[in-house]
């Protein structure tokens, strides 16, 4: 049998060579074979490392130290780790191995090539366990002596405290784990980052790309909050983008190492990627995913117009159940105000006392059940991260270290809050929602033994367990087409609110821009595709689409936003049906979209007009539709009840011919009791069950029932079980809830209906006994 060489080049490596070149090395070889743009590299094999241990006599000494080690004893773990690393670094690399490594390095560029030297453990990057960051990487290495030193330091990192701990908890035997080392041309990336070929939690075909200026280590380590781009592979376009303020970048320094430098002010808020670059990256992600057969976590960098793929490994967190937190959709108990907002990186809800970790010296203070708060986590924190019930960071995005490890551990996490380490205090009790990216004051009461699952799984499981039939129609609110499948899997009876402004805001151009530039057809096509995606997910079930209702301030930062008026209070301004009736060209583009869908047979599409205050507005909108070729008697046209005037005049609306009405309680509450729901100074006064609000709703429901008009609710109150119980008892026809709330709202409806029947029977029996 041929002995494995000490050195292998990428074009000699395939995915079957993991035992020799580790997960990273095998992945790079496989990527090279399918034509992905990978910088040239060679691998110092695991067999070379094993020879090093044997020939230096270190093998027995190391494993004697590691045997019987209690990895949960942090002091013992650190002590043994340092002893083993000292042994590896103090030994001399055998001449035969050293000569082959230097010969390979010399052939890359006469011994002057600047390289990255990366660890590639043979248990790393496997499909069922992510060992991200457990071994070391050394950047900007140049010269023979420095390359040899970096290789040996990578070997030593196999015995870092975090690596020993992680392997023990994942069930790997230290004696069976080897390490290879990748020596790769260092790309002086002008911009770089990380990419998930599919959504890392739900597995949906949404490519998530995060990027910043300089070398990718800034994104991977969480040193910056990167830009985030979401590319829908079904729609073949960018559907969401978040441009962050990027204060720092990592760059090579001299001939050895890197440094963190401040980004010039004029570039800190500049988008890193164009839509074309996002599309190109997403295509590389698709190629990698299709080749491996599973979604991939990739690192990338660019120099000029050239994109390089630096790493690709399986995403290990899709469909993983959390095990420490309460269900994300249904925390029990009363929470305080939201005190921080960030990115929801790992779903679930968790409560506990805050412990702020500034550096490794603070790790000994971490206790089971704490909420770990840090500027950003790093691999040294993994033992502590395993103990805690939740994680909050100042920096980072969905692909940072905190996000990846939290998802694998099943620990709720909120990243990129900017100020967590300054806002929160040690010992302060908080609750975090890792799906919505929120941190609340106080603790949620979690039933003993409760377990969390990702929201999409929880919704599906609730439906699969036992279909519940209710007389009250339970619908779902949808904002984005990519959520359509998850919404449909909730078992909802239809869509009670599809907000098209989220589709339009995702285009990053105002409707006026499309009109001004003669690109109405582009607008119609994008809107058509998005709405059709939702309709296809709900065949035969009603889908109520709300016409555009975006305040002018939400348009101002988009292309064409310079033409938007300056309004002192946009919430009371030029929005909803009042704007559409004054901007007929804008309204007509929407109507043309709806007309094409109706013409294609989507007769389950209903149209809902927002912010109506007088029946004349509904009548005028109906006239315009008829004038543009819509058979208004053959389609469902309804209104949002968001203004007290609308609720008071509901009978006139019914006489005007509405097919349905739906309460938008978020606006109805603030307009009824004069409370700005976005003003933190008056937030405590925001009272959804104010008697005046309840009276408006009660009276409007009664009128709708009298005229046989379906009456529903699609505001946040529709996701509140107590409010829903009240609504059903007062005769509401249907309820539309948030996706993750549909199962509990259906249960609430069924329970309420049964109680009403039982109460009626008991009342009748009591009357008969009294006869």
Strand partners, 311: 299
Are residues 746 and 470 in contact, defined by beta-carbon separation less than 8 angstroms? yes
Chain position carrying tokens 């026809």: 733
The C-alpha atoms of residue 546 and residue 693 are separated, in whole angstroms, by: 22
Are residues 404 and 132 in contact, defined by beta-carbon separation less than 8 angstroms? yes
Are residues 602 and 535 in contact, defined by beta-carbon separation less than 8 angstroms? yes
Strand order in the sheet with 306-314: 237-242, 227-232, 206-213, 191-196, 296-303, 306-314
The C-alpha atoms of residue 116 and residue 25 are separated, in whole angstroms, by: 13
The CATH superfamily holding the domain 7-185 is ATP-grasp fold, A domain (3.30.1490.20)
CA 552 to chain centre: 27
User: What pLDDT, on a 0 to 100 scale, did the predictor assign at position 129?
Assistant: 42
CATH T-level assignment (fold) for domain 191-314: D-amino Acid Aminotransferase; Chain A, domain 1 (3.30.470)
User: What pLDDT, on a 0 to 100 scale, did the predictor assign at position 646?
Assistant: 97
CATH T-level assignment (fold) for domain 338-441: Glucose Oxidase; domain 1 (3.50.30)
What is the domain partition of the chain in residue ranges? Answer: 7-185, 191-314, 338-441, 472-638+710-758
Per-residue DSSP letters for 444-476?
-B--TT-----HHHHHHHHHHH-----SSEEEE
Strands 338-341 and 390-393: unpaired
CB atoms under 10 Å from CB of 59, counted, come to 14
Strand partners, 543: 495, 605
Q: Please name the helix (run of DSSP H) or strand (run of DSSP E) that holds residue 314, with its range, or none.
A: strand 306-314
User: What pLDDT, on a 0 to 100 scale, did the predictor assign at position 3?
Assistant: 74
| Dihedral sign from CA coordinates of 423, 426, 429, 435 | positive
Tell me the catalytic residues: 401, 714
Are residues 273 and 191 in contact, defined by beta-carbon separation less than 8 angstroms? yes
Instruction: List C-alpha distances in Å: 403 to 117, 220, 638, 645, 646.
Output: 25, 10, 42, 47, 45
Strand partners, 242: 228
The C-alpha atoms of residue 579 and residue 570 are separated, in whole angstroms, by: 12
Nearest Cα neighbor of 48 from 87, 1, 102, 116 is 102
CB atoms under 10 Å from CB of 768, counted, come to 8
Half-sphere exposure in the Cβ direction for 533 (13 Å, CA): 23
The C-alpha atoms of residue 546 and residue 557 are separated, in whole angstroms, by: 23
Half-sphere exposure in the Cβ direction for 677 (13 Å, CA): 15
Per-residue DSSP letters for 286-312?
HHHHHHHSS-EEEEEEEETTEEEEEEE
The C-alpha atoms of residue 165 and residue 340 are separated, in whole angstroms, by: 32
Cα dihedral: 716, 722, 726, 728 (round 10): 80
Strands 371-374 and 390-393: parallel
Q: 3-state class of 729 per DSSP?
A: helix
Strand partners, 639: 609, 661
Would you state the structure tokens that stand for residue 45, as one six-digit string? 């094999």
Nearest Cα neighbor of 32 from 52, 15, 7 is 15
Q: Please name the helix (run of DSSP H) or strand (run of DSSP E) that holds residue 752, with its range, or none.
A: helix 742-770
DSSP state for residue 363 in the 8-state scheme: G
The CATH superfamily holding the domain 472-638+710-758 is Phosphoenolpyruvate-binding domains (3.20.20.60)
HEC assignment per residue over 668-696: HHHHHHCCCCCCCCCHHHCCCCCHHHHHH
CB atoms under 10 Å from CB of 381, counted, come to 24
Chain position carrying tokens 């551990």: 409
CA 452 to chain centre: 17
Cα dihedral: 196, 202, 205, 211 (round 10): -30
Strand partners, 737: 476
Chain position carrying tokens 């979209």: 593
Are residues 241 and 273 in contact, defined by beta-carbon separation less than 8 angstroms? no
Walking along the chain (771 residues) 10 residues at a time, the average pLDDT comes out as 81 86 87 90 94 90 87 86 92 94 88 86 50 66 92 91 78 80 90 89 83 83 78 86 84 76 89 94 93 89 92 69 38 66 84 90 88 84 86 79 69 90 94 88 58 39 54 88 82 92 75 92 92 92 94 77 84 89 95 95 95 97 96 96 97 97 91 74 75 96 96 86 93 89 88 86 76 68
Are residues 8 and 19 in contact, defined by beta-carbon separation less than 8 angstroms? no
CB atoms under 10 Å from CB of 287, counted, come to 18
- pTM listed for this prediction: 0.47
User: What pLDDT, on a 0 to 100 scale, did the predictor assign at position 124?
Assistant: 44
Would you state the structure tokens that stand for residue 453, as one six-digit string? 């699952």
Would you state the structure tokens that stand for residue 391, as one six-digit string? 């994680």
């Amino acid at each position: 049998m041929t002995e494995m060489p000490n050195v292998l080049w990428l074009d000699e490596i395939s995915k079957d060579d993991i035992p020799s070149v580790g997960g990273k090395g095998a992945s790079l070889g496989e990527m090279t074979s399918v034509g992905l743009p990978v910088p040239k590299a060679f691998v110092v094999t695991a067999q070379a490392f094993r020879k090093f241990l044997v020939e230096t006599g270190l093998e027995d000494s190391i494993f004697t130290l590691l045997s019987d080690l209690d990895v949960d004893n942090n002091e013992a773990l650190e002590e043994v780790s340092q002893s083993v690393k000292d042994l590896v670094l103090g030994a001399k690399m055998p001449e035969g191995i050293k000569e082959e490594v230097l010969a390979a390095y010399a052939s890359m560029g006469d011994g002057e090539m600047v390289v990255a030297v990366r660890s590639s453990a043979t248990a790393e990057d496997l499909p069922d366990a992510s060992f991200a960051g457990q071994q070391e990487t050394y950047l900007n290495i140049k010269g023979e002596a420095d390359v040899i030193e970096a290789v040996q330091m990578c070997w030593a990192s196999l015995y870092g405290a975090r690596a020993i701990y992680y392997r023990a908890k994942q069930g790997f035997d230290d004696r069976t784990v080897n390490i290879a080392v990748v020596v790769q041309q260092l790309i002086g990336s002008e911009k770089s980052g990380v990419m998930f070929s599919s959504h890392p939690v739900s597995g949906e075909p949404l490519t998530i790309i995060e990027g910043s200026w300089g070398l990718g280590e800034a994104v991977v380590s969480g040193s910056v909050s990167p830009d985030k781009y979401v590319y829908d592979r079904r729609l073949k376009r960018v559907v969401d983008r978040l441009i962050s303020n990027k204060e720092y970048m990592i760059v090579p320094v001299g001939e050895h190492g890197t440094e963190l430098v401040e980004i010039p002010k004029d570039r800190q808020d500049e988008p890193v990627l164009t839509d074309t670059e996002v599309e190109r990256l997403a295509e590389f992600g698709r190629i990698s995913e299709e080749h491996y057969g599973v979604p991939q976590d990739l690192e990338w960098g660019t120099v000029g117009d050239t994109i390089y793929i630096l790493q690709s490994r399986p995403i290990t967190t899709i469909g993983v159940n959390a095990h420490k937190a309460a269900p994300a959709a249904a925390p029990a108990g009363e929470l305080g105000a939201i005190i921080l907002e960030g990115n929801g990186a790992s779903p679930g809800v968790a409560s506990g006392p805050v412990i702020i970790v500034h550096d490794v010296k603070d790790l000994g203070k971490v206790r089971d059940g704490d909420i770990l708060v840090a500027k950003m986590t790093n691999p040294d924190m993994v033992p502590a991260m395993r103990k805690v019930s939740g994680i909050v960071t100042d920096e980072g995005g969905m692909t940072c270290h905190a996000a990846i490890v939290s998802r694998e551990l099943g620990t709720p996490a909120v990243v990129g809050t900017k100020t967590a380490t300054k806002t929160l205090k040690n010992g302060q009790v908080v609750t975090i929602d890792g799906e919505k990216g929120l941190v609340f004051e106080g603790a949620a009461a979690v039933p003993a033994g409760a377990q969390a699952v990702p929201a999409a799984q929880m919704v599906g499981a609730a439906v699969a367990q036992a279909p519940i039939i209710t007389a009250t129609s339970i619908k779902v609110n949808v904002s984005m087409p990519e959520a359509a499948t998850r919404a449909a899997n909730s078992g909802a009876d239809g869509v009670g609110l599809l907000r098209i402004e989220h589709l339009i805001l995702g285009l990053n151009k105002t409707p006026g821009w499309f009109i001004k530039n003669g690109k109405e057809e582009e607008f119609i096509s994008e809107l058509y595709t998005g709405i059709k995606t939702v309709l296809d997910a709900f065949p035969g079930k009603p889908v109520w689409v709300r016409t555009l209702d975006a305040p002018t301030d939400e348009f101002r930062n988009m292309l064409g936003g310079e033409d938007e008026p300056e309004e002192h209070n946009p919430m009371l301004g030029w929005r909803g049906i009042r704007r559409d009736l004054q901007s007929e060209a804008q309204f007509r583009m929407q109507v043309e979209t709806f007309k094409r869908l109706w013409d294609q047979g989507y007769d389950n599409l209903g149209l809902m007009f927002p912010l109506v205050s007088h029946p004349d507005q509904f009548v005028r909108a109906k006239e315009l539709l008829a004038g543009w070729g819509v058979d208004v008697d053959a389609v469902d046209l309804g209104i949002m009840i968001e203004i007290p005037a609308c609720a008071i005049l509901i009978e006139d609306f019914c006489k005007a011919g509405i097919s349905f009405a739906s309460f938008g309680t978020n606006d109805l509450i603030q307009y009824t009791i004069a409370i700005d729901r976005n003003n933190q100074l008056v937030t405590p006064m925001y009272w959804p069950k104010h008697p005046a609000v309840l009276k408006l709703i009660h009276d409007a429901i009664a009128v709708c029932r009298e005229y046989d008009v379906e009456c529903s609710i699609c505001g946040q109150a529709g996701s509140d079980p107590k409010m829903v119980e009240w609504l059903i008892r007062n005769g509401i026809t249907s309820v539309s809830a948030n996706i993750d709330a549909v199962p509990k709202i259906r249960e609430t409806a069924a329970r309420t209906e049964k109680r009403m029947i039982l109460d009626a029977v008991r009342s009748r029996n009591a009357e008969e006994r009294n006869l």
